[in-house]
Amino acid sequence: MSRVPHPSQPGRAARLRAAADRDGSRCVWCGRECAGLVVATTDHLVPRVKGGPSWLENEVVACRRCNAGRGHTSPAEWFAECERRGWHPDLDAVLGALRSLDRAITERGGQRRARPYLAAQLRRLTRAEQDRRAG
């Protein structure tokens, strides 16, 4: 059974194109260019199991390897893991999407289950951003 997107939200392929237009065609986690054999996917920052919507504001471009590797790991934990591996995750893109999602939820309402998870990720990644600037 295929899912029909909400009339006000574009389908998955359109959201992937929009995320690439917004953030570029590199994986936000490892920095690899998503072209050829490196397949681009949309990664839900707030996972669907945590109440995250399939909205552009909740999705970033990730290569298939990173999207599958992250699984249900939180964005803050996966960010730290990517840095540990020597990759160069795009903190600006991740935080930008999370902040945009926070605004979208405020404007559109709903998403009760996603709100606490989103707030926690924003706090943790904002601290990482501050540490980067200080350090």
Per DSSP, the three-state class of 61 is strand
82-118 in b/e form (b: 16+ CB < 10 A) is beeeeeebbbebbbbbbeebbebbeeeeebeebeebb
> pTM of the prediction?
0.88
Residue 27: per-residue pLDDT: 98
User: Crossing angle of helices 91-108/114-134, nearest 10°?
Assistant: 150
| pLDDT one-digit tens code per residue, 70-121 | 998 999 999 999 999 999 999 999 999 999 999 999 999 999 999 999 999 9
Helical packing angle, 75-84 and 91-108, nearest 10° = 180
Residues belonging to the chain? 135
pLDDT of residue 13: 87
Q: Which residues contact 127 (CB under 8 A, 6 or more apart)?
A: none
pLDDT at site 47? 94
